[in-house]
Structure 1
Amino acid sequence: MFMCCCVAVEGNSLPEEDVEMMENSDGKNTVTDEASPMLEPFIGMEFESEEAAKSFYDNYAAGMGFLMRVDAFRRSMRDGTVVWRRLVCNKEGFRRLRPRRSENRKPRAITREGCKALIVVKREKSGTWIVTKFVKEHNHPLLPLLPNGRRHCQLSQTPDEKDAKIRELSAELSRERRRCAALQQQLDMVLKEMEEHSNHLSININNVIQSVREIESNTFTKPFS
């Protein structure tokens, strides 16, 4: 039996593999990473790996018309490996409210609506992963599929979501530009100091050479006693 502790939430994961069912020697069905018709999750469904579970639910999400998000997980206190994983709709939860910096600033689009759709998978002692919870219902309209049966995150976003993403990326670009400008200023200062040091060193060397030449000249021109 594994003892587990809760850990932080991860970001989105959208693998490209399809899935199929294979029968183990004990007669149970296990999902692998090969192509097959879309299946609906059910409690007790088994997967050969955590990645197979992610791939399966991602393809199921694409077929139903929503995006999967890889959510919370738990690790074994014995060896630190992941033994429990929650996969949710990308509209799960609610965005934390933060004070607006400016009244003129356009509010960010609401991308989370408290959707409860999810599956929970747990690793068994045998190494297989089993579905222990499945919630099918969504509290929002599902998005249409593209002709190829897959959806891209950017294509599935609403105009407001795209605007919010553009603003986020623009702000990040602005921060990076300011950071680069500061680094460039520091680099210019370092190069200037190196140049000044090099010039000062050259002057000192020239002074030493001149002094040596004067000494040599005085030595050779001094009459012998």
Structure 2
Amino acid sequence: MDEDPSVHHDAEMTESSNGKELVTNGGNLDMEPHVGMEFESEEAAKVFYDAYATRLGFVMRVDAFRRSMRDGKVVWRRLVCNKEGFRKCRPKRSENRKPRAITREGCKAMIVVKKEKSGKWIVTRCVMEHNHPLVVAPANSRRTVLLSQTPDDKDVKIRELTAELQRERKRSAAIQEQLDMVLKDMEEHSNQLSRNIDDIVQSVKEIESKRVVVSHH
């Protein structure tokens, strides 16, 4: 995986040095997802699974993610069917209120992609089966693939907070540096005063010694 795969200009899908299929941003979107499939980026994986979902008849949802402890970047992402999980039960506000349509049915279909050291994103888990009917929408009403490339609000907020935290850390480091310099200057000034006092005390002692000698004579 550390070596760059050989890419042919007339091919939509290439094969990496370890034999795993590699899908680029402009790769073959008609494939089916499977464990071991590789992508050039997280966005490429989203584009692929979104196109696959549209073709099969379900809607993709960008789900959970994990970040690197080193730099805070996303290194693990789960893409699911929008009917994954179950809707949380909430107290009824009004008996006359029209009940909301059931959109979560506990569907398990998903893929999990993980970023490797080489920078490629590889499918580490893949569930194909859906527990609900699939409805293929007409071509003219399909969602644009660009929709899947838009970061979700949580990611944006986390990036903003991370950037603000970094700014505060830099500001605190600058203040700490200034404080250290002030403390160092104070320490040096204190040491100088101590030396001056020692010199004065020594001079007084010498003068007193001379007076004693003179008085004896």
Q: What do residues 88-118 of structure 1 show as CA deviations (whole Å, max 9, x unaligned)?
A: 0000011111011111111111111110000
Q: Which residue of 2 aligns with 1:77?
A: 69
Q: What do residues 137-159 of structure 1 show as CA deviations (whole Å, max 9, x unaligned)?
A: 000000123145x6249xxxxxx
Identify the match of residue 42 of structure 1 among 34, 47, 72.
34
SS at 2:44's partner residue?
helix
Identify the match of residue 53 of structure 2 among 39, 49, 61.
61
Aligned pairs for 1:1-225 within 5 A:
20-24=12-16, 27-34=19-26, 36=28, 38-148=30-140, 151-152=142-143
Amino acid at match of 2:70: R
CA positional deviation for 1:33: 1.6
SS at 1:96's partner residue?
coil
More helix by share: 2
Contiguous gaps of at least 5 residues in structure 1: 1-19, 154-225
Length-normalised TM-score, structure 1: 0.55
Aligned in 2, Cα 1:32/1:136: closer, same or farther, shift over 3 Å?
same
Structure whose alpha-carbon radius of gyration is higher: 2
Q: Take 2:99 and 2:92, find their aligned partners in 1: how far apart are those partners? A: 8
Once the two structures are aligned, what percentage of the paired residues are identical? 71
- The 8 Å contact of residues 29 and 48 in structure 2, kept in 1 or not, is answered as no
SS at 1:71's partner residue?
strand
Amino acid at match of 1:69: R
Amino acid at match of 1:103: E
Contiguous gaps of at least 5 residues in structure 2: 1-11, 145-217
Q: Which residue of 2 aligns with 1:4?
A: none
Q: What do residues 7-42 of structure 1 show as CA deviations (whole Å, max 9, x unaligned)?
A: xxxxxxxxxxxxx42234565431112153500111
Q: Take 2:36 and 2:18, find their aligned partners in 1: how far apart are those partners? A: 14
- The 8 Å contact of residues 39 and 122 in structure 2, kept in 1 or not, is answered as yes
Q: Take 2:139 and 2:70, find their aligned partners in 1: how far apart are those partners? A: 46
- Alpha-carbon RMSD across the aligned residues, in angstroms, is 1.8
Length-normalised TM-score, structure 2: 0.57
- The 8 Å contact of residues 40 and 121 in structure 2, kept in 1 or not, is answered as yes
